């Protein structure tokens, strides 16, 4: 059996009762995390522009836009919810594949689950399947395509969404192969969008396109059947180091969602090690920001290529500026979406600290590492090596950690009771008969009062 047929069979045949308990537990955390970051990003201009657009063009009232309670077509809902979930760049990620798996996947499957009145177990099943397809294709492609300038979340997200929606629509293996082929022919998204509104748009468009691929395949719309084989057009365009065995090896027995990375800083994941190091220095050595003469940061080559932004003019750029995030870490001791979106980049003391950041490439460092030295006028040197902490990965994270994230992102838009009810609903989502109950909870309190 070829690779595409194997994947199609996995999607068609997988069932909720086959998943290990820990896999289901992490999937629940991922759903809660997605709700948190989507509601947290819903007041951003990106969301408002997209909502204005879909209200102008219209759409059948099939699925809900989180926060606003607006009902529109499943495709429109996937587009807007997908973009909102990626606005803050606070959504979960997979380190090895350099992608955000949930931002394109959950908006597509939750819109379909709501429209068809499906259960929490249905949603969890589609999520675990879609996550697995996303990451395994990413591992097979390698890192070359990303380094050439392609955006992995946009490329891989279409496959994850197509896989998850295919499961919910009960497609057969032949239809699923068509859905994957249709997803492949829509792939796109360039990395130069980082620091602009177009980056979160990528996640929404991937959700929309992946869903459309499965919906068309259900109607026997055909596409290239074997896109995941060696030397297909898709593979040749995106990878010179393709390893198809990384898709099929232990498929259905090992689950990559256990290595999901839940973000604790509101910035590009590549900046997190430097942020961690600088927060450690602030907490343990307490240097006065005004006494600092230099902030020396050694990082891997990709970190410098993606995050070297000496000047910042808006929150989109701020999330991708290691200089800005480093200054905020030393000044505030926290780099949450509130700091990144709050206009700190205009403050004189932050600008002054940004000027003191000196970046150096260290070829020996991995992408999740940073070496930091902070020097002061009185001659002190504070050193710290940091890497992305393993306790933030899915196999050792906790539901309570994600609840704190939800509270922090929604305490001004939802009542305390509603926040706790969302948490309880997601925690027991496998017993939820209709996913619409969760969507009904995710509406801002000022909109509920109208």
Which two tokens mark 352?
């002054």
Beta bridge partners of 6: none
Nearest to 446 by CA among 36, 43, 31, 32: 43
- The encoded tokens of residue 375 equal 């020097």
Per-position b or e across 17-33, b if 16+ CB within 10 A of its CB: eebeeebbbbbbbbbbb
Q: How many CA atoms lie within 13 A of 129 on its CB side?
A: 29
pLDDT of 390 reads 44
At 312, the pLDDT band (50, 70, 90 cuts) reads very high
CA 282 to chain centre: 28
Mean pLDDT score, 190-198? 96
* pLDDT tens per residue across span 341-374: 888 999 999 999 999 999 999 999 999 999 999 9
pLDDT tens by residue, 238-283 = 998 999 999 999 999 999 999 999 999 999 999 999 999 999 999 9
Range 165-189 average pLDDT = 98
Instruction: List, for residues 390-409, the tens digit of each pLDDT value.
Output: 435 655 678 999 999 999 99
What is the mean pLDDT of the segment spanning 4-22? 97
Residue 391: the pLDDT is: 39
Instruction: Using the CB atoms, write b or e for 355-391: b if 16+ within 10 Å.
Output: ebbebeebeebebbbbbbbbbbeeeeebebebebeee
For the chain, domains (ranges, CATH) are 3-262+394-448 (1.10.4100.10), 269-389 (3.30.1330.120)
427, 36 in Cβ contact below 8 A?
Answer: no
User: Taking residues 188-201, what's their average pLDDT?
Assistant: 97
Q: Are 359 and 308 in contact (CB under 8 A)?
A: yes
Place of tokens 């607006």: 70
Query: With b meaning 16 or more CB within 10 Å and e meaning fewer, what string describes 175-199?
Result: bbbbbbbbbbebbebebebbbebbb
Please name the residues in contact with 393: beta carbons below 8 A apart, sequence gap of 6 or more. 258, 259, 260, 261, 262
pLDDT reported for residue 342: 86
Exposure pattern of 401-432 as b/e (b: 16+ CB <10 Å)?
ebbebbeebbeebbeeebbeebbebbbebbeb
Strands 70-72 and 63-65: antiparallel
In tens, the pLDDT along 86-95 reads 999 999 999 8
Is residue 294 within 8 A of residue 376, CB to CB? The reply is no
In DSSP notation, 197-245 reads THHHHHHHHHHHHHHHHHHHHHTT----TTTTSTT-HHHHHH-SS--TH
**448 confidence band (pLDDT: 50, 70, 90):** confident
pLDDT above 70 covers what percent of the chain? Answer: 97
Give the model's pLDDT for residue 387.
84
pTM for this one?
0.96
pLDDT tens digits, 100-159: 999 999 999 999 999 999 999 999 999 999 999 999 999 999 999 999 999 999 999 999
Is 10 in a helix, a strand, or coil?
helix
């Amino acid at each position: 059996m070829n690779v595409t047929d194997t994947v199609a069979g996995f999607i068609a045949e997988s069932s909720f009762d086959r998943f290990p308990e820990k896999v289901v537990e992490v999937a629940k955390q991922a759903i809660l995390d997605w709700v948190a970051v989507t509601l947290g990003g819903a007041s951003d201009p990106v969301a408002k522009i997209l909502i204005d657009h879909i209200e102008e063009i219209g759409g059948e009232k099939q699925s809900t836009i989180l926060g606003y309670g607006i009902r529109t077509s499943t495709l429109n809902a996937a587009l807007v919810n997908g973009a909102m979930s990626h606005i803050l760049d606070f959504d979960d990620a997979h380190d090895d594949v350099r992608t955000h798996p949930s931002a394109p996947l959950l908006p597509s499957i939750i819109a379909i689950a709501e429209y068809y009145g499906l259960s929490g177990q249905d949603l969890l099943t589609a999520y675990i399947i879609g996550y697995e397809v996303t990451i395994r294709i990413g591992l097979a492609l390698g890192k070359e395509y990303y380094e050439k300038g392609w955006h992995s979340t946009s490329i891989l997200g279409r496959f994850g969404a197509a896989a998850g929606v295919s499961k919910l629509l009960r497609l057969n293996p032949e239809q699923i192969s068509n859905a994957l082929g249709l997803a492949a022919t829509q792939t796109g998204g360039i990395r130069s969008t980082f620091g602009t509104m177009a980056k979160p748009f990528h996640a929404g468009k991937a959700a929309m396109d992946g869903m459309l691929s499965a919906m068309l395949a259900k109607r026997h719309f055909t596409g290239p059947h074997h896109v995941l084989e060696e030397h297909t057009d898709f593979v040749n365009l995106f990878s010179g180091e393709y390893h198809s065995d990384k898709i099929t090896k232990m498929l259905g027995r090992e689950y990559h969602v256990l290595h999901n990375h839940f973000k604790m800083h509101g910035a590009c994941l590549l900046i997190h090690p430097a942020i961690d190091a600088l927060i450690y220095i602030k907490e343990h050595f307490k240097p006065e920001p005004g006494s600092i003469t230099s902030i020396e940061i050694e990082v891997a080559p990709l970190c410098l290529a993606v995050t070297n932004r000496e000047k910042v003019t808006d929150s989109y750029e701020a999330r991708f500026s290691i200089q800005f995030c480093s200054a905020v870490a030393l000044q505030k001791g926290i780099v949450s979406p509130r700091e990144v979106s709050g206009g700190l980049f205009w403050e004189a003391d932050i600008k002054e600290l940004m000027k003191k950041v000196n970046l150096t490439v260290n070829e020996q460092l991995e992408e999740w590492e940073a070496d930091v030295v902070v020097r002061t006028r009185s001659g002190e040197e504070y050193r710290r090596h940091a890497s992305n902490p393993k306790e933030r990965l899915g196999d050792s994270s906790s539901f309570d950690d994600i609840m704190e994230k939800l509270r922090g992102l929604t305490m001004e838009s939802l009542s305390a009771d509603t926040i706790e009810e969302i948490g309880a609903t997601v925690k027991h989502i496998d017993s939820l008969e209709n996913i619409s109950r969760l969507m009904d909870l995710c509406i801002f309190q000022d909109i509920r009062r109208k």
